[in-house]
Amino acid sequence: MKISYNELARFVPNLRMTGRKHLLHVGCGSAPKERLPECFRTGDWNEIRVDIDPAVKPDIVADLTDMSMVRSGTIDAVWSSHSLEHLEDYQVPTALVEFRRVLRPGGFALITTPDLEFVAKLVSEGKGDGVLYTSPAGPITPLDMMFGHKKSIANGNHYMAHRTGFTAQRLKTKLANAGFSEVRVLPGKSYDLWAVAVAGAAATNPVPTPAGVGVR
């Protein structure tokens, strides 16, 4: 499942604003620009790549639970593709508050993550080892989506392990609790969820940032 520009713009009017905009791509891995959602591939988006793994050469090396080097209220959109499930479950609320903190009022987070309800159904039907799709890392099974890509983990990339999971309702509740003013979660017709969360008024008690560091 993918979300189109027009589908997103109906929910996020700020998407249609012209001028230079900042996209914070969190948990970017080695994904090339061509794999960004359609809405972020126009020339007015400046992609800022964030990842905990320095080997993927991000612009910022950081954990999603502490992006204090990015100034509060300076980002127009946060893009998170299959990154939240790599956090420990107790870290998820902190990460979502960080997503909310860095966004300008009216900015939004676009998040996709495995649909645990759909994946669990496949596992319960004995299809856990069947190939769902082939990614740049190789074939992906329902058990990979539940616990992390086993081949990558076996090769020593322990960042690829999954430590939590989400259903549509659980992800919606987590985003609402993080302070987003509007949240819409679209259950995937296959194995993924898509969530759009819009930031309202400026976040309170923003994390202080050293002078001269982060996005201006």
41 located within any domain = yes
Give me the CATH number covering residue 102: 3.40.50.150
The number of folded domains in the chain is 1
107 located within any domain = yes
Q: What is the pLDDT along the chain (216 residues), one digit of tens a residue?
A: 567 777 787 778 777 777 889 999 999 988 888 889 988 988 899 999 999 999 999 999 999 999 999 999 999 999 999 999 999 999 999 999 999 999 999 999 999 999 999 999 999 999 999 998 888 778 999 999 999 888 888 988 888 899 999 999 999 999 999 999 999 998 656 788 999 999 986 544 343 333 333 443
Instruction: In whole angstroms, give the CA distance from residue 121 to residue 110.
Output: 25
- What are the Cα distances from residue 9, in Å, to 107, 168, 211? 12, 21, 34
pTM for the full predicted model = 0.86
What phi and psi values does residue 140 have, to the nearest 5 degrees? -120, 130
Nearest to 74 by CA among 182, 174, 209, 177: 209
Q: Which domain, by its residues, includes 110?
A: 5-114+165-198
- What are the Cα distances from residue 124, in Å, to 86, 89, 142, 145? 22, 23, 10, 14
Instruction: In whole angstroms, give the CA distance from residue 79 to residue 37.
Output: 9
68 located within any domain = yes
171 located within any domain = yes
